[in-house]
Structure 1
Amino acid sequence: MVSPLYKFWLVIRSTFFWLFFLPPTVITAIVVSSLFFMPAKFSVALLKIWINYNLALLRYICGLKYQLEGIENIPEKGFILMSKHSSTWETLALQKFFDPLVWVVKRELTRIPFFGWSLITLNAIALDRGTGSKAIKQLVRESKQRMDQGRILMMFPEGTRVLPMQHKPFKIGGAIVSRRTGYAVLPIAHNAGEFWPRHSWIKWPGTIRVVIGKPIEPEDKKPDQIIKEVEEWITTTCDEISDREQLKRLGIL
């Protein structure tokens, strides 16, 4: 646990982060959504400027840095990126490390003014989750089209952010895509949720560890075998890289 005075200081620093984060985010969403008539590379370039700006804010205002491991494991061709989802941080940073990304999102998100329109401009795959097998067919078809173009499919198999030391069963959709398209899964483990937990105003100082695993090939494997392998690696690696001292500060240990 930390002293009330130190926590108050963290609140002040995090407040400054939000003050510098929100206005440019709104402006970026408006501008990107208005570029629907132009090649996606213009929107991606603007998005990267916004991402680098935000990572700089986290570093210099909040004292939050990152360490990237396993770069040598990144395939040259298109692949499916499956990441632990415990923070807002990875939704920003993974777009810096991997390019070009294709997001898989719920269709209702595309209806949000400016933010949702930006997703459309960036060629996200928008699924109607209520259509079952129809949604899976759409996901496989559109994912293959994007990866055949050399793009990277971005998926959070847990479906939503989870708290530190918590794990949700991985959804099988990405594994089905891997099996039917032949593209490998690249697993990502990190401990960002220990420094920027979900629903938390405070951004804790420290170093986020991001570990890129070896590609998991789909040959001779069923979807449930693929997702089991992905889940076991991500869960085990997240436990290994967890910052125990930070968990104590959060009151988890």
Structure 2
Amino acid sequence: MLVQAIRSLLFYLLYLGQTAVLAILVGLDAKLRGRTGFGWAVARYWAACNLFLLRWVVGIRSDVKGMENIPDGPCIIAAKHMSDWDIFAILPHTRRPAFIAKKELMDIPFFGWAARVFDTIRIDRSLGGEAIPAMTEEARAALARGCRIVIFPEGTRKAALAPPDYRFGTARLYAELGVPVVPVALDSGLYWGRRSLVLWPGTARARFLPPIAPGLPAEAFHAALAAAIEGETGRLILGAYERGLASPIPPEMRERLEALRAQLSAENTTTS
């Protein structure tokens, strides 16, 4: 535990330190020259460097599959969100991403300037449902520029096996934009917990799933998206549990894992 805590502290120092420096560089460049290739080159470096640090400093490997499910044309990528690893792992496969982010992040000096270079779409949660039309128009403009929209449908990071809470904003985008939505399942929270200062070694996995074609009623899409992401996320988490986890497993978490094992076993029996 002590050794892993020291490794985690070293990672955080390197990760946060370089993120601050790179945000300042990209932010200043954006202020002086506007959108340039420099910003995207830095973003690719940032993602690759952080995956490298996770692998060699704290022992978290990365396994990302299913990229063949991403359409060539415009689409929305809707991913489970458990840790910052999700951003590093997804970003290299998005071509030109437009992440949907809280407005508060965009107001941070340097960081907000840098985020605008990367086509980030703002959402002002203080406006409630009124924020959706503005977000939709920004997303439509981003698609016209050749971006792929990246959204976390639950709106925030969730702990592994926490009860799902899918917001309706993704369904609104799906209905308004008329493009396929690619669900993404992952299990990174087993290694980089939502409120844990200690990162644990293992292999974090992400899976791009078959796209949901446009045309479904919003309610049907909402249910299909949650079912796809939660179903595959559960299978990833259970697989990691059965292979063995380095992190301590609290009794409540173990109960949830055993309940998940029973649920998936029953589903397999029903379909066989």
Aligned match of 2:221: 226
Q: 1:64-109, CA deviations, whole angstroms, 9 ceiling, x for partnerless residues?
A: 1111221221110111010001112112221122221101122222
What pairs with 1:205-224 in structure 2 (closer than 5 Å)?
205-219=201-215, 221-224=216-219
Q: 1:168-205, CA deviations, whole angstroms, 9 ceiling, x for partnerless residues?
A: 32111111111111111100000000000112121111
Which runs of no fewer than 5 residues in structure 1 stay unpaired? Answer: 1-6
Equivalent residue letter for 2:28: S
Coordinate RMSD, CA, aligned:
1.6
Normalising by the residue count of structure 2, what TM-score does the alignment of the two structures yield? 0.85
* Aligned-pair identity (%): 29
CA distance in 1, matches of 2:77, 2:128: 22
Cα 1:174–1:247 shift into 2, 3 Å: farther
Across the two proteins, how many residue pairs are aligned to each other?
246
Aligned equivalent of 2:121, options 110, 121, 125: 125
Quick check: 1:57 aligned with 2:59?
A: no
CA distance in 2, matches of 1:247, 1:184: 37
Aligned equivalent of 1:11, options 5, 8, 13: 5
Asked if the contact 1:66–1:209 (Cα under 8 Å) also holds between the matched residues in 2, the reply is yes
Aligned match of 1:21: 15
**The structure with more helix, counted as a fraction of residues:** 2
What pairs with 1:228-247 in structure 2 (closer than 5 Å)?
228-242=223-237, 243-244=240-241, 245-246=244-245
Aligned equivalent of 1:137, options 133, 138, 143: 133
Aligned match of 1:187: 183
**Greater relative contact order: 1 or 2 (C-alpha under 8 angstroms, separation 6 or more)?**
1
CA distance in 2, matches of 1:41, 1:137: 30
Q: Secondary structure of the equivalent of 1:207?
A: strand
Cα 1:133–1:160 shift into 2, 3 Å: closer
Quick check: 1:167 aligned with 2:163?
A: yes
Deviation at 1:148, TM superposition (A): 2.5
Which runs of no fewer than 5 residues in structure 2 stay unpaired? Answer: 255-272
Asked if the contact 1:35–1:121 (Cα under 8 Å) also holds between the matched residues in 2, the reply is no
Deviation at 1:248, TM superposition (A): 6.8
Asked if the contact 1:167–1:235 (Cα under 8 Å) also holds between the matched residues in 2, the reply is no
Point out 4+ residue stretches in structure 1 off by more than 6 angstroms: none
Deviation at 1:155, TM superposition (A): 0.5
Cα 1:228–1:48 shift into 2, 3 Å: same
Q: 1:29-69, CA deviations, whole angstroms, 9 ceiling, x for partnerless residues?
A: 10111122333432111111111111101111111111122
Quick check: 1:177 aligned with 2:173?
A: yes
Deviation at 1:126, TM superposition (A): 1.3
CA distance in 2, matches of 1:163, 1:247: 17
CA distance in 1, matches of 2:107, 2:247: 40
CA distance in 2, matches of 1:222, 1:156: 20
CA distance in 2, matches of 1:150, 1:121: 14
